[in-house]
């Protein structure tokens, strides 16, 4: 379907066409690109080809160091841009295909590019929307009968995270230090976290925002969701356990959050929409929607230690297990009049499924450190060690093609000495 040959196993098929921010050695300027196969289409080179009624006056958004300006244009402009890119890359379109000089300037091999954060993230909110994950964690700390708090089935629970420490894939993560209380009969101690964990998540970028005091209704929520990325919400469980009462996560979370660099447009994901989870009790009217907005996205986590020849897969799960949808998350976030802005990041919370191999955190996989996670070759873990590299992958499988996200990876560095 495209004049650019794409391997069927590639994450970046013609059906995907995600947006990202990249630079190259010979051109260090950060600019907007679209991934196709193993190539990047540099939109700053071809921005004059966006001649539609909406984008003809806003071609400069493709020559910016972030996607924020493009996100702010709204969903109709996103559709027009996608249609234009699809046309330019089509096997039947000659304007780019047959212009050798233009192609040499507009197409960059991904191996020659450095990826950057796709947006200037003004605010970051993390939800807690997997029923299996919330039940597992609640069971560990409160017992099976009180696993879910009374509000959990009534609203999408979330907290405001730290936007400044959101980093792009392959950025190393420093092991945090903080207060912990490993022995409940003694005072707290200070030192490097001994229970450093992953959280397999996904997140979406807000596109067009809303005015302060004007909620986004559920019927319009999809118009404000630009696209999705993979996320690892690194978590220091021992720091978190001591600090989280009464105001929730703080230093156990805000030391680093990793996202994948390519933002997959919602239009590319819509063919993989599935019926939403059955919600009982029925949510209040402002959170109700019947259209499917749950997605069949295959997810996996692999871990490779310093002394391991190959990475070991420790989790396989699916985004379709989520209880609360992205539309419900965004609507609930703004129902009190809170304003969201282009580039804001809203995350799903840990994505766990019903089976042990689908648990999206080491806290669950090791059941709070009570059992080892087998990595093969004699290697085991309960929580992360220094030098461990964690990689999250995700994709939707079509008929002979994939809509994938590329890797979301990070390596643990030793704690600094205090």
Q: What amino acid positions are annotated as catalytic residues?
A: 133
Alpha carbon distance 163, 14 (integer Å): 32
Asked if 328 and 335 touch (Cβ cutoff 8 Å), the reply is no
Neighbours of 226 (CB within 10 A): 29
Neighbours of 96 (CB within 10 A): 20
Neighbours of 135 (CB within 10 A): 16
Q: What is the DSSP string of 26-53?
A: TEEEEEEEEEETTEEEETTTSGGG--ST
Question: Which residues have C-beta within 8 Å of that of residue 262, sequence separation ≥ 6?
Answer: 12, 18, 19, 20, 35, 115, 118, 229, 405, 406
Give the bridge partners for 142, in sequence order: none
The residue among 236, 243, 158, 244 whose CA lies nearest residue 198 is: 236
């Amino acid at each position: 379907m495209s004049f650019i040959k794409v391997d069927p196993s590639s994450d970046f098929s013609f059906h995907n066409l995600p947006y990202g921010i990249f630079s190259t050695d010979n051109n260090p300027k950060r600019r907007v690109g679209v991934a196709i196969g193993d190539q990047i289409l540099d939109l700053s080179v071809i921005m004059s080809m966006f001649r539609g009624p909406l984008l003809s006056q806003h071609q400069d958004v493709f020559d910016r160091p972030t996607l924020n300006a493009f996100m702010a244009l709204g969903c109709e402009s996103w559709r027009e841009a996608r249609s234009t890119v699809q046309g330019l890359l089509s096997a039947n379109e000659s304007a780019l295909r047959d212009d050798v000089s233009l192609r040499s300037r507009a197409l960059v091999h991904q191996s020659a590019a450095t990826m950057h954060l796709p947006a200037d993230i003004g605010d970051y909110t993390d939800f807690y929307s997997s029923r299996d994950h919330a039940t597992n964690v609640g069971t560990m700390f409160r017992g099976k009968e009180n696993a879910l708090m009374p509000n959990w089935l009534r609203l999408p629970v979330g907290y405001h995270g730290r936007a400044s420490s959101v980093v792009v894939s392959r950025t190393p993560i420093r092991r945090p230090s903080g207060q912990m209380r490993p022995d409940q009969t003694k005072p707290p101690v200070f030192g490097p976290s001994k229970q450093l964990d992953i959280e397999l998540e996904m997140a979406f970028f807000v596109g067009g925002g809303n005015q302060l005091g004007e909620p986004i209704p559920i019927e319009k929520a999809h118009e404000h969701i630009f696209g999705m990325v993979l996320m690892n919400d690194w978590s220091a469980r021992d720091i978190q356990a001591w600090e989280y009462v009464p105001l929730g996560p703080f230093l156990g979370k805000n030391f680093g959050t990793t996202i994948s660099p390519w933002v997959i447009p919602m239009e590319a994901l819509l063919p993989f929409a599935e019926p939403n989870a059955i919600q009982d009790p029925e949510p209040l009217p402002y959170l109700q929607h019947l259209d499917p907005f749950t997605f069949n996205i295959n997810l996996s986590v692999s871990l490779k230690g310093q002394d391991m020849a190959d990475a070991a897969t420790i989790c396989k799960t699916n985004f379709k297990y989520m209880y609360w949808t992205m539309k419900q998350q965004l609507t609930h976030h703004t129902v009190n009049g809170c304003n969201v802005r282009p580039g804001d990041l809203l995350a799903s919370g840990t994505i766990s499924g019903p089976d042990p191999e689908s648990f999206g955190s080491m806290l669950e996989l090791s059941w709070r450190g009570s059992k080892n996670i087998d990595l093969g070759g004699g290697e085991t873990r309960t929580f992360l060690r220094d030098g461990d590299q964690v990689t999250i992958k995700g994709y939707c499988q079509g008929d002979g093609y994939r809509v994938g996200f590329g890797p979301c990876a990070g390596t643990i560095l030793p704690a600094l000495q205090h």
